[in-house]
Amino acid sequence: ITKIDGKDVPTVLDEAVKLIRGKKGTTVTLTIVRQGNEIPVTVMRDKVEVKSVIYQKQGNTGVIKVTRFNANTNELFEQEYAKAEKDGVKGLVIDLRNDPGGLLDEVIGFTSYFVDAGNTVVVERDAEQHEDAMTTVPVAKRITMPMVVLVNKGSASASEIFAGAMQDLGRAKVVGETTFGKG
């Protein structure tokens, strides 16, 4: 994309995204470069639903990619994990690479699928040093199969909390690059 509504694309991604986003039903013209030619493309703005959990089977391993911990991530995870069970996978890879995080309550619930209820996932500490431990909750079915968690420098916040909890609780091996460093 070289232009947004005829103006050069800002060098800061967030600024470009703000120009592209807008009220549902309105249009924006994006100038794109294809095979060296600039082509204007007018698109209608609409709500885009991004699936935050994606499953695929690789051999006898289920790979579950979590792109972000949204309000419906746990519900989507249950659906995708059901596919993995149906496929008869023997182990899981939870791929959190480039997952920028999301909602704390969602990641606490997500962690609950893998460890017993009552395990501390994260401790919040306020300015007065009061601590509030967030613990796993009971779930209908706990997942016990072997598991690896993938992270990289784009894994931040809630994804770091999950990876750290899995590592600290001895539930999974964490593999990859050093994470972003928020959590």
**Exposed, middle or buried: residue 149 (CB in 10 Å: 0-12, 13-18, 19+)?**
buried
Report the C-alpha dihedral over residues 170, 63, 140, 105, rounded to 10 degrees.
70
What is the identity of the amino acid at 169? L
Reply yes or no on whether 182 is catalytic. Answer: yes
What is the identity of the amino acid at 94? I
Reply yes or no on whether 157 is catalytic. Answer: yes
- Catalytic position from the list 87, 153, 168, 173: 168
- Catalytic position from the list 18, 153, 173, 182: 182
- Catalytic position from the list 52, 112, 155, 157: 157
**For residues 172 and 113, is the Cβ–Cβ distance under 8 A?**
no
User: Which residues share a beta bridge with 133?
Assistant: 123
- The Cα 32–Cα 17 span in angstroms is 15
Catalytically active residues are 157, 168, 182
